[in-house]
Amino acid sequence: MNDPIGYQNNPLHGVSLKTVVTEIANHYGFEILYAYLNLNCFKNKPNIDSSVKFLKKTDWAREKVEAFYLYQYKSLPRASEEQFQLPPRERIIPMDQKPGLPAELSLEDAEALREKRARKTAMRNQNRRTTATSSRSYSSRYEKSADSSFNGSEDPWAKWR
């Protein structure tokens, strides 16, 4: 990472995970972190050391916390599509983008965000179900194959040899 392209401008450059968790936990508190990130390490007996231990072992959770640090705590503009595919530590942030003040977050906003995510998930699942029912369903294929091989009076395990 000794590359002059733009890693130096990334607020995560040279910052340990423990420092990131400490900064956001001291500023927002564990309750708001759990409400926004939905990670149980911020809910069940939360402390810095246990959260860092969990985040070091779990890549997806660490990336979620680092993205929260960049875009909520440091108030950076949203990443481009190609940069969004990279983990937060590997993203190149343009030199003209400077970290701002931390975003003001509340539990009410977190609840509204959670409801919005639930609606999106429900719509996605509903769309998935409608495409599945348009093709032949599993139950109709299963019933057809079961009826053709099972006569009712005959033992289905009689011919296993």
Each residue of 83-113: pLDDT tens digit? 889 999 888 888 888 888 998 998 999 999 8
pLDDT of residue 160: 76
pLDDT of residue 54: 95
Is pLDDT above 70 for 57?
yes
Confidence category of residue 159, pLDDT binned at 50, 70, 90: confident
Alpha-carbon distance of 145 to 75, in angstroms, equals: 58
pLDDT mean across residues, the chain: 83
Phi, psi of 106 (to 5 degrees): -140, 165
Alpha-carbon distance of 20 to 11, in angstroms, equals: 10
pLDDT of residue 1: 46
Element (H, E) at 125: helix 107-134
71 contacts 61 by C-beta, under 8 angstroms: no
Confidence category of residue 56, pLDDT binned at 50, 70, 90: very high
6 contacts 92 by C-beta, under 8 angstroms: yes
* 103 CB burial (10 A radius; 0-12, 13-18, 19+): middle
Alpha-carbon distance of 116 to 161, in angstroms, equals: 56
Is pLDDT above 50 for 148?
yes
Compare 153 and 105 and report the one with higher pLDDT. 105
Residues constituting the chain? 161
Cβ neighbours around 89 below 10 Å, total: 16
Class of domain 7-104: mainly alpha
107 contacts 32 by C-beta, under 8 angstroms: yes
Helices (H), 4-106: 17-28, 30-37, 48-57, 59-68, 81-84
Question: pLDDT tens-digit profile of 108-139?
Answer: 999 998 999 899 989 989 888 777 665 555 55
